[in-house]
Amino acid sequence: MQEQNTDKQLTKRILMSALGVIICGISVGMFKHAFLGVDPFQSLMSGLDAVIPLRFGTLYVITNLVLLAFALIFDRHKIGLATLINLFLLGYIAEFSQKCVSSLLPGPSLVTRFLLLAAAIVIMCVASAFYFTADLGVSTYDAVALVWSERQKKIPFSICRIITDLVCVISGTLLCLLGGYTWLEVTGEVGIGTIITAFFMGPLIDFFNVKLARPFLYGK
């Protein structure tokens, strides 16, 4: 019976990990089409995209390979199935998602854009909570805040996440301006959605961890 429960949990963990990362990629496409600011890490990616002439999906892989080196040095336990899916597929999933949302909602109104933003934030936080709880690896960016919070026991994950997110937001904004973006274009990439996720994504992930992800995995 115990072995059956272990196998069942492993199946759940694999499902939570794979779907969590894929759904995160879908939410990135929603963020981009809402054009009210992407999540903090994607704001950094937008800045890099503005100054480096590579396809977004390819640039995403290269950036994450750099962050992967950090995770390998400080905590290899954070590397797993979710890390690999995130590393090699998330950028291309985000590209595909944006194209699909654009075809379904061409020229959205401001109200529609805000609704799309709200949905993207919730979807990303729920998906992140599920693949964090699955504990089969996290994205190379997520590993930074997780490793930091685990090594600095007095600083909770939510605070570490807010700090790393703010660093990404500031860097992304500066890179977008350096890449020739107008302020209107910058606010589309680094806007209200970015600020909301920078301050509330960590606490929201913690909330969905407790309320949804752990009960789903452990049946409590």
User: What long-range pairs does 63-72 form, CB within 8 A, spacing at least 24?
Assistant: 64/139, 64/140, 64/141, 65/140, 67/140, 67/141, 67/143, 67/144, 68/140, 70/140, 70/143, 70/144, 70/147, 71/140, 71/143, 71/144, 71/147
- pTM (2 decimals)? 0.78
> Can you give the residue ranges of every domain in the chain?
2-218
Digitized pLDDT (tens) for each residue of the chain, 220 residues in all = 445 557 778 888 889 988 888 898 899 899 989 989 888 888 888 889 889 888 877 888 888 888 888 777 877 777 887 788 877 788 788 889 999 999 999 989 999 999 999 999 999 999 989 988 888 877 788 888 888 888 777 778 778 888 888 899 899 889 999 988 888 778 777 888 888 887 888 788 889 998 999 998 887 6
Tokens encoding 79:
């590397």
pLDDT of 2 reads 46
Least Cα distance to 76 among 133, 12, 31, 140 occurs for 140
pLDDT of 21 reads 84
pLDDT of 42 reads 82
pLDDT of 1 reads 45
